[in-house]
Amino acid sequence: MNQTSIEEIHRTKDGKVSDKWASYLPFYDELFSVYRNQPIDLLEIGVQNGGSLETWSTYFMGARALIGCDIDPLRGELKYSDSRVSVVVGDANQQETLNRIRSICDRFDIVIDDGSHHSNDILNSFLIYFQLLKPGGLYVIEDTHTLYMTNFGGGILNEFSAYSFFKKMVDIVNLQFWENDINPKVYFRTFFPPEGIPDFISEGWIESVEFRNSLIVVRKSLIATNDKLGKRIVSGREASVNPAPLGFKD
């Protein structure tokens, strides 16, 4: 069974050009290793020269569908020998393009946003495609350093940027500890109208948010719940220093 790393596949590949920052590659090996031999479905928004789809094709040997989406019509001319790979041309945030993607596959294990890198596009894509993730799936946003740039709709003090939105997601992961103090609808008033936030946020589908240099990874929960901490579990019998924990023991 082929166990070549993503980094090795990327660095040694021929064929279509793939452009990734060096720090992504070992991290992707760690992040995606559990999926590599599974029958996964993957969507990548932003195709460029198409080389990353070849990388995913080589790495994810058990994959069923590997879909790329790009707004540039030239991407529609890309050809692949792997029948699992397909490219949809269009704006990923438009309903017509979404319908064409869903006609190929409507549930994904991994979504990678390597699209325009503009703040509004990143946010809109997340609101659309996170809902198509299977429970436990991963939503990866690349090149988020652009969200510090005003010409990409970002900026370090821009409270309307996608980065500000995802920082709020950290609090959503911990919603059970503050939901009685402030309504989540109020907390997200910068981004959503008063009638409310998307159900998948308030229902507890956000399991975790990881920030790395130029990457954001959002993991979808296996089940929708805001009670994420779980039951307090105390083991052992000796508590000569502080016996208080024994009061929580079954």
Q: What is the pLDDT of residue 248?
A: 83
Q: Is 140 helix (H, G, I), strand (E, B) or coil?
A: strand
Task: Give the phi and the psi of residue 97 in degrees, each rounded to 5.
Answer: -65, -45
The pLDDT score that the predictor gives to residue 195 is: 80
Residue 1 reports pLDDT greater than 60: no
Q: Within 10 Å of residue 94's Cβ, how many Cβ atoms?
A: 13
CB contact at 8 A, 59 and 40: no
Hey, what are 101's tokens? 């993607």
> Catalytic site residue 117?
yes
pLDDT digits (tens, 9 = 90+) for 103-150: 999 999 999 999 999 999 999 999 999 999 999 999 999 999 999 999
Structure tokens belonging to residue 165? 């939105």
The pair of structure tokens assigned to 80 is 């692949």
Structure tokens at 117: 């890198």
pLDDT tens digits along 176-195: 999 999 999 999 999 999 88
- Angle 119-129/162-173 helices, nearest 10 degrees? 40
Q: Note whether 220 and 134 are within 8 A (CB).
A: yes
Task: Give the CATH class of 6-248.
Answer: alpha beta
Average pLDDT estimate for 8-15: 94
Compute the chain's Rg from CA coordinates.
20
The whole-number pLDDT of residue 39 equals 98
- From the candidates 10, 117, 118, 145, give the one annotated as an active-site residue: 117
3 state SS of 10: helix
Q: pLDDT by residue (tens digit) across 43-70?
A: 999 999 999 999 999 999 999 999 999 9
Per-residue pLDDT at 2: 64
What pLDDT score does 237 carry? 87
Which residues lie across from 212 on neighbouring strands? 215
Q: Parse the chain into domains and list their residue ranges.
A: 6-248
pLDDT tens digits, one per residue of 70-115 = 999 998 999 999 999 999 999 999 999 999 999 999 999 999 999 9
The residue whose two tokens read 């979404």 is 98
Largest CA distance in the chain: 72
